Each structure stands twice: as C-alpha cells, then as structure tokens.
C-alpha cells in the first residue's frame, strides 16, 4: 500500500518548530535549522541591526536574505530575551497593537512587536516587502493564498493552505506572497516582525468575493 502524502503542515506538526518560506505561488518550504547557539556575549539589538545591514549589502536576492536573516532573529530572541516582553497589550478596538522597536527614515528595515487579540482576523494582503515573523506567544493561523487571474478578474485569488504556528515557529514571506492572519485560542498572539523596504504601489488587500485588490 502506498503511504499517504504528508504536506508541509503535517511535517511541521511532526517535527516541532520550523522556519517557513512562503512564495507568491503559495508554496511553503521549510528551511534551515531552528537550533542556534547562544553567543558568549549578549547579542544586542544594535549588533543585530548591523548584521542585517551587512546581509542586505552582500545578498541581492530576497530569498537569500530571508535565509540569512532568520537565524539572526532566533539568536536575537534567545539572547536578548527582554525583547519578548516589549509589546503593548492590544485594546479591544481595533484588537491589535504595534510597538516599533526600530525604524529609521530612508533605511529599509522596520522592527516591530505585534500583539493580536483572538477574534480579529487580518485582511488578506501581501507586504510588497520581504518579511520575517517570529511567533513568541499564543497561536496563529496563517491562511496562504495565491493569484489565479482570469480575463475578467485580474486580481482573483484562491486559498492554498492553512498553517497553525506556535511559539518558536518563524514564517518568512517573499514580497508577493499573499496571506491572512487569525489569532487562535484565548490569549493574544505575540510576534516579532521584521520587514524590508516596502514598495507601496505593489501592496494590496484582496477580496476573494469580488475578485478585487486595493492598495493600502
């Protein structure tokens, strides 16, 4: 008898935490190791930002950047563990909060701590920038979408998969990857979010019912 195929989500559940890469076609790929050594010296935010600048200068393609940046994110969160508490309790309205840990005018990096209350799903969107999201607390469902245009509906999309992410998981996105987020359970989802330079003209929210997309 042929064994049933095991998709990426099933593999994640069997093997524990993962690093995920999501591409524009909705493909999900596990990459790299989740094991990182704690450095002898505290890996502070300023060193992390300097390393990121070096990676951006040395690595021209977004996929290579994500693969190089992800272990640095793990190292930062393990070493400078105080960062995991740098979030604001989200208010009931709008149901989420953002604490900017770092942003600088005309420098292509934004570092945030984001907290979402359960019952507040995000719109379907892309980021028009590479992105790294590390789950720190709670549980999050990522629904992955892809474009399936037709002559009448150039912005038509379809759902590809759902991924349940837990503390210790990191999910990364190519700029054209499309997803929506929904916090699960009874407590806020807390995440460390890192974004590259956004091309705002290419950033959209999608409506799967009307097959439309609007800049935001």
| Side-chain half-sphere exposure of 202, counting CA atoms within 13 A | 13
179-198 pLDDT, tens digit per residue, is 999 999 999 999 999 999 99
4-8, 26-30, 101-105, 154-158: segment of lowest average pLDDT:
4-8
Residue 97 reports pLDDT greater than 50: yes
Residue 77 reports pLDDT greater than 50: yes
Residue 50 reports pLDDT greater than 90: yes
pLDDT at 12: 42
Q: Tell how strand 212-215 and strand 204-207 pair up.
A: antiparallel
Which is nearest to 111 in space by CA: 192, 55, 170? 192
pLDDT at 81: 84
pTM summary value: 0.91
- How far is the C-alpha of 28 from the C-alpha of 66, rounded, in Å? 14
Q: What six digits make up the tokens of 80?
A: 């400078």
Average pLDDT, the chain: 92
Residue 206 reports pLDDT greater than 70: yes
Which is nearest to 162 in space by CA: 141, 181, 188, 184? 141
Which helix (H) or strand (E) segment holds residue 46: the answer is helix 45-58
Residue 95 reports pLDDT greater than 60: yes
Average pLDDT over residues 144-149: 98
Is residue 214 a contact partner of residue 151, using CB atoms and an 8 Å limit?
Answer: no
CATH of 8-198, one of 3.30.70.2740, 3.20.20.370, 2.60.120.10, 3.50.50.60: 2.60.120.10
Which is nearest to 23 in space by CA: 71, 66, 74, 69? 66
Q: What percent of the chain has pLDDT over 70?
A: 93
Average pLDDT over residues 23-48: 93
């Amino acid at each position: 008898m042929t064994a049933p195929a095991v998709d990426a989500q099933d593999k994640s559940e069997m093997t524990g935490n993962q690093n995920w890469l999501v591409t524009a076609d909705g493909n999900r790929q596990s990459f790299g190791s989740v094991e990182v050594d704690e450095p002898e010296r505290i890996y502070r935010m300023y060193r992390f930002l300097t390393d990121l600048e070096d990676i951006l200068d040395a690595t021209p393609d977004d996929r290579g950047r994500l693969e190089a940046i992800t272990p640095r994110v793990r190292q930062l969160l393990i070493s400078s563990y105080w960062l995991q508490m740098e979030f604001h309790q989200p208010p009931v309205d709008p149901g989420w909060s953002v604490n900017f840990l770092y942003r600088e005018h005309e420098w292509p990096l934004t570092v945030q701590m984001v907290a979402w209350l359960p019952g507040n799903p995000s719109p379907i969107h892309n980021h028009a920038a590479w992105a790294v999201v590390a789950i720190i607390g709670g549980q999050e469902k990522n629904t992955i979408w892809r474009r399936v245009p037709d002559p009448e509906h150039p912005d038509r999309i379809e759902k590809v998969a759902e991924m349940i992410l837990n503390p210790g998981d990191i999910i990364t996105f190519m700029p054209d990857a499309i997803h929506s987020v929904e916090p699960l359970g009874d407590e806020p989802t807390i995440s460390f979010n890192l974004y590259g330079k956004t091309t705002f003209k290419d950033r959209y929210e999608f409506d799967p019912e009307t097959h439309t997309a609007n800049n935001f």
